[in-house]
Amino acid sequence: MEQIKLTVNGKGYELQVRPWASLLEVIRDDLGLTGTKEGCGEGECGACTVIMDGKAVNSCIVLAVEADGRQITTIEGLAEGDKLHPVQEAFLEMGGMQCGFCTPGMILSTKVLLDGNKNPTDEDIRKGLEGNFCRCTGYTKIFESVKAAAQKIRR
Amino acid sequence: MKEYTVIGQRVPRIDGRQKVMGQAKYAADYSLPGMLFCKVARLPVAHAKILNVDTSKAERLPGVKAVVTAKDFNGWTWGFMANTRDEPPLAMDKVRYYMEAVAAVAAIDEDAAEEACDLIKVDYEELPSVFDPEDAIREGAPVVHDYRPNNVSVEYHWNFGDVEKSFAESYLVREDRFRTSRATKGYLEPPASLAWYDPAGYITVWAAKQSPYFHYRHLAACFGLPLSKIRVIQPFIGGGFGGTKNDSVAGDFCAVMLSKMTGKPVKFVYTQEEELTISKRRHSMIVYNKMGMSKDGLITAIQSRVIADGGGYTAVSPLTMYLTGCCTPLPYKLPNYKYDCYRAFTNNPICAAMRGHGVTHTRFACEIQMEMMAEELGIDPVEIRMQNAIDNPKPGEIYRTINDMTLKTCGIKEAIQTLVRDPLWAQKDKAPKQDGSVSYGVGMSATSYLGGARQLGHQSCAAIVRICEDGTVNLITGATDCGQGSDTVLAMIAAEELGVRYQDIDFKMVDSAYTPVDPGSYGSRVTVLAGQAVQTAAADAKKQLLDILGREWKVSPEEIEIRNAEVYHRSNPSRRIPFDKLAKIACYSGSGAVIIGKGYSGYGIEPLGFENGRGNAGTSFSFTAQTTRAGVDMETGHVTISDFVIAHDCGRPLNPIGAESQNEGGAVQGMGQAIYEDFIMDRGKTLNPTFLDYKMPRSTDVPDIKVIDIITDDPDGPFGAKEASEGSHVSAPPSVVAAIHDATGIWFKEQPVTAEKIVAALKEKGKWPGKQ
């Protein structure tokens, strides 16, 4: 077992992890934060997206030991109590989801996109979400949600 | 017409807050103390006789608590119809497809369970195998199931009118061979369940099922328990699209059996690779289509001979093959029709239902063939459609197809005309046709899909509307939202009918211990049938409330109205109370009343003629016309789809956000199927069982999509609604293929129309600009 330190959603953890455990396994199984989803386990679908030191990563292909000392944000860390983050609000209002399985990852990728670019073009939005599959919506309502979120953040 | 207060509003999803916060729990998110993990052992051979399964080494591995093999299930099998129950939880005498399950392990963690699976030794004798459906039904082919020695798992032979006479009299007759791809649902949530077998004789599962009550019956039958002791608790479902999540999988039965053996709760989660290798996928079908036309382009007859690759077991395919044939007389008038289908058993993975079930195959063939013939006759794509399309019946009238399907509304002509006026079509000749090596084209399709699907057996949906004393409402149904938004629509229906606000309704998800039995989420049936049940239940609760208030106010209940959670006397609107006050009065009246409204669906309970193909496959039918703009790189064959315009007659969109999103998602899934989605097979083995190699549309691949509602207000649907989930999935592939034709001048008859196929066809026609 390896000892690691993580900050997840602002809270510090010291954990003993198997050397081959993924960050996703640690988040879901050790921390009980099941909002982060496993779709493929191979870094293809983006359902397990979390924010690590400001970057969107597929937590299923990041080893927990690689995340040692890093700052992690999961979907549970976005709202402040009952108050939704503007990106969450926008997805809720514009209907940027159906089954919801890709939604946590999609929202976190959107946050990273908008943190770096408050005026994304259509092309920027498409590129920013390229790593996140959605099989339900055909992406149209997700694009609308991202635009609405950008507008909320600019206000 | 009455003005609606909730129906037609762009409300947020009822489950939206949980989903955006990461609080929506799916099957894999559930755990219980002491829980074990189940992994399924599979045999990497497509067809083999099992001689022995030795689990001794696996059992001795530290951490392993139990191993289950076929003998533990005592020969139990399941299937869609009484005479097609051919699928065992674990393979018994032989495996019939690559990676069929042979055993399963419960261990203290996933690593140990997986390692134990590798230690299970199966002695087997490989059998001759068959993978091509046309080969499979030829005499002398290896037999997959002894009970079907000709490998024909399902066949129907229907004949309406006189196709032979009609072909002889037709001005033009064409015969073509079409083929559809080996596509899959592609949901991101793989099958999963947490199972607990209580030794007192109860089963509780948290299972990823879009139709939980199929699973409920399967578990009762498999474990010999009464239905009253089977509890299927439905978590959030991470996408359905038919097939697997309408059915049970090996892991479902094994997890329960292992829980029974160990006394511990047991969870399984398939890997996505496991899902893509073995889970039920769409049939690939070969459609030999023959169409007759008069000189002026009227369709005189269609004859379809369909050969479907069924894979190793029957599953739901008697319905698949029914739907593949029954909807051909829509959306165009068809006076003569013959359908012969053969679903072949092969040693490929099992094929079953998927969105656009059945209809997508034959409609693709008919739509493309019709355009090819129109081209030969020099008739425009719009004109050929308009002159054959079925008219919208006048109120009170019914259009009857040659196989006795009945339409009360049909918006196809209006949908086509709407697209003709839309800029994408209207200005297509003004838009650039060529830019460098890319040729552009615009294509059209017009299609139909059933809503409120019927099958054999239990048909009805039920609902309970329970009024809380503070004026809020619990809505209890047996319906499952696997993403399509039905929980939201059902809550809207309850609110509208009862006269309360949308936010006053709380929706309860399926728990088979408490919610009414329901057929499930398939065949676009939830809004239509569960919707009718909810509307009836809400009306029942409202009547009970008004009866009580009528006595209190000493007026007739008919004189009282509830709207926007306000209760008032119709002729004296100043006499009013808020709804929560009425709820309190009602719940505290006398010694305390319990206001529970109940209702069930009544549409569509007459049986289907599976053998003769006559009758309504659904309660009502949606109509979709679609235009697509495609760019084809004439050097590389790469296709870019830039625009979709979808004119959809779903009767009336109850929740516009949901209806649009269903149309958008269905069309994009259809686009994937049309141009790239396909399993690459090698002797029964899926060579691309990952999302890296099985290409699905990403955000950078999808077109701009416009959805236009065609309102027809069907009398057989709640607030006029028909289906909205599957129509665009059927309309997308022919529309995309027509656009590729417009760009390249070539008709493609085989899905997916890959870059490789395009380049090969361009070379063949001498149109490829590269160096040969």
Residue-wise pLDDT tens digits, B676-714: 999 999 999 999 999 999 999 999 999 999 999 999 999
Eight-state DSSP code of residue B231? E
DSSP letter for B609, please.
-
B530: closest CA among B726, B316, B717, B355?
B717
Q: Taking CA B445 as the corner, what is the angle to CA B440 and CA B446, rounded to the nearest 5 degrees?
A: 160
Contact A37 B238 (CB under 8 A): yes
| Three-state SS letters, B71-116 | HHHCCCCECCCHHHCCECCCCCCEECCCCEEEEEEEECCHHHHHHH
Closest chain B residue to the Cα of A80, Cα to Cα: B21
Task: Find, in chain B, the residue whose alpha carbon is nearest to that of A87.
Answer: B20
Q: Can you give the pLDDT at residue B555?
A: 97
Domain residue ranges in chain B: 16-23+460-600, 31-127+185-278, 358-453+619-764
Residue-level pLDDT at A42:
97
The verdict on ipTM greater than 0.95 is yes
**pLDDT the model gives residue B458:** 81
Which chain A residues are closer than 8 Å to B660 by Cβ? Answer: 140-141
Q: Exposed e or buried b for every residue in B459-477, given b needs 16+ CB within 10 A?
A: bbbbbbbbbeeebbbebbb
Question: HSE on the CB side for B672, CA within 13 Å?
Answer: 30
CB atoms within 10 A of CB A96: 32
Q: Residue B173's pLDDT band (boundaries 50, 70, 90)?
A: very high
Residue-wise pLDDT for A10-54, tens only, equals: 999 999 999 999 999 999 999 999 999 999 999 999 999 999 999
Closest chain B residue to the Cα of A82, Cα to Cα: B21
Q: Which of B337, B363, B321, B276 is nearest to B133 (CA)?
A: B321
Proportion of chain B above pLDDT 70, given as a percent: 99
The Cα-based distances of B654 to B122, B485, B528 in angstroms read 54, 11, 11
pLDDT value, residue B496 = 98
Report the distance separating Cα B214 and Cα B521, nearest Å. 11
Q: pLDDT tens for residues B113-129?
A: 999 999 999 999 999 99
Task: Tell me the nearest-neighbour CA distance from B479 into chain A, angstroms.
Answer: 15
Question: Within 13 Å and on the Cβ side, how many CA atoms surround B304?
Answer: 35
A3 at interface of B, judged by CB pairs closer than 8 A? no
Measured distance CA(B121)–CA(B355) in Å, rounded: 38
Which residue(s) pair with B646 in the sheet? B626, B707
The angle, 0 to 180 degrees and rounded to 10, between the axes of the packed helices A140-154 and B656-675 is 130
For chain A, positions 10-29, list CB contacts with chain B under 8 A: 28
Q: Is the per-residue pLDDT at B771 higher than 90? A: no
Q: How confident is the model at residue B605 (pLDDT cuts 50, 70, 90)?
A: low
Q: Which residue of B has its CA nearest to A78?
A: B21
- Determine whether B437 is exposed, middle or buried from the number of CB atoms within 10 Å of its CB (0-12, 13-18, 19+): middle
Alpha helices (H) along B449-574: 486-498, 531-553
CATH 1.20.58.100 applies to domain A86-154:
no
Chain A: closest CA distance from residue B275 (Å): 10
How many whole angstroms separate alpha carbon B392 and alpha carbon B697?
35
Q: Is the pLDDT of residue B233 over 90?
A: yes
H or E element that contains A4:
strand A2-8
**What pLDDT is recorded for position B64?**
98
The minimum CA-CA distance between A99 and chain B, rounded to whole Å, is 3
The pair phi, psi for residue B416, each rounded to 5°, is: -65, -45
A38 touches chain B (CB under 8 A): yes
Mean pLDDT of chain B: 96
Residue B331: cis peptide before it, omega within 30 degrees of 0: yes
Residue in B23, B664, B669 nearest the CB of A140: B664
Is the distance from CB of B101 to CB of B113 less than 8 angstroms?
no
Q: For testing the chain A interface, which of B21, B108, B642, B668 should be mutated: the one with the most A CBs within 10 Å?
A: B21
Domain ranges for chain A: 2-76, 86-154
Q: Which amino acid is at B41?
A: A
The pLDDT assigned to B13 comes to: 98
Residues 6+ apart with CB under 8 A from B421: none
By the 8 A CB rule, do B403 and B159 touch?
no
Sign of CA dihedral B83, B84, B89, B92: positive
The pLDDT, as a whole number, for residue B610 is 83
* Window 115-144 of A, Cβ < 8 Å to B: 125-127, 129-130, 132-143
A75 in contact with chain B, both atoms CB, cutoff 8 A: yes
CA dihedral B574, B575, B578, B580 (to 10 degrees): 180
Residue B682 CA to residue A29 CA, distance in Å, equals 37
How far is Cα B650 from Cα B99, in angstroms, rounded to an integer?
A: 41
Count other Cβ atoms within 10 Å, centred on residue B260: 21
The predicted structure's pLDDT at residue A155? 87
pLDDT at position B608 over 90: no
Contacts of B665 in chain A (CB under 8 A): 98, 134-138
- For residue B388, what are its two tokens? 């054959």
Report pLDDT for A137. 98
Contact B188 A40 (CB under 8 A): yes
Distance CA B710, CA B624 (A): 9
Q: Cα-atom radius of gyration of chain A, to the nearest Å?
A: 15
Chain A to chain B Cβ contacts (< 8 Å)? 172
- Asked if domains B16-23+460-600 and B358-453+619-764 share a fold, the reply is yes
Question: What distances in angstroms separate CA B683 from CA B44, B94, B151, B689, one per listed residue?
Answer: 11, 17, 17, 14
pLDDT mean over B395-406: 96
Terminal Cα-to-Cα distance of chain A (whole angstroms): 48
- Enumerate the β-bridge partners of residue B14: none
Query: What SS3 class is residue B422?
Result: coil
Which positions in chain A touch B273 (Cβ < 8 Å)?
Answer: 40, 42
- Subunit contact B26:A79, Cβ cutoff 8 A: no
B33 touches chain A (CB under 8 A): no
Q: The domain A2-76 belongs to what CATH superfamily?
A: Beta-grasp domain (3.10.20.30)
Q: What is the pLDDT of residue B441?
A: 98
- B591 falls in which pLDDT band (50, 70, 90)? low
B544-549 long-range contacts, CB within 8 A, separation 24+:
B544/B586, B544/B593, B544/B595, B544/B597, B545/B467, B545/B582, B545/B583, B545/B586, B545/B595, B548/B585, B548/B586, B548/B589, B548/B593, B549/B582, B549/B585, B549/B586
Query: Which among A84, A92, A7 is positioned nearest to A53, based on CA atoms?
Result: A7
* Residue B456: per-residue pLDDT: 73
Q: Cα–Cα distance between B387 and B333 in angstroms, integer?
A: 9
Q: What is the CATH number of domain B16-23+460-600?
A: 3.30.365.10
Q: What is the distance between the alpha carbons of residues A45 and A23, in angstroms, rounded to a whole number?
A: 16
Say which DSSP state B761 is in.
Answer: H
Pairwise CB contact (< 8 Å): A41 & B271: yes
CATH class of the domain defined by B358-453+619-764? alpha beta
Which residues share a beta bridge with A59?
Answer: none
Separation of CA A71 from chain center: 13
Query: Measured between alpha carbons, how far is B644 from B697 in angstroms, rounded to an integer?
Result: 14
CA B480 – CA A98 distance, rounded (Å): 13
Phi, psi (deg, nearest 5) at residue B451: -125, 150
Backbone angles phi, psi at A136, to 5 degrees: -90, -50
**Could you say which residues from 90 to 119 on chain A have a Cβ atom under 8 Å away from some Cβ of chain B?**
91-95, 97-104, 107
Q: Give the whole-angstrom CA distance, residue B184 versus residue B242.
A: 10
pLDDT digits (tens, 9 = 90+) for B462-508: 999 999 999 999 999 999 999 999 999 999 999 999 999 999 999 99
Query: Hey, which CATH number is domain B31-127+185-278, 3.90.1170.50, 3.10.250.10, 3.30.9.10, 3.40.190.10?
Result: 3.90.1170.50
- Sequence letter at residue B18: Q
Single out the residue of B505, B465, B473 nearest to residue B487, CA to CA: B505
CA distance A89 to chain B (A): 8
Each residue's pLDDT tens digit, A43-94: 999 999 999 999 999 999 999 999 999 999 999 999 999 999 999 999 999 9
Residue B295 burial (CB < 10 Å; 0-12/13-18/19+)?
exposed
Q: Rounded to whole angstroms, how far apart are CA atoms B235 and B29? A: 9
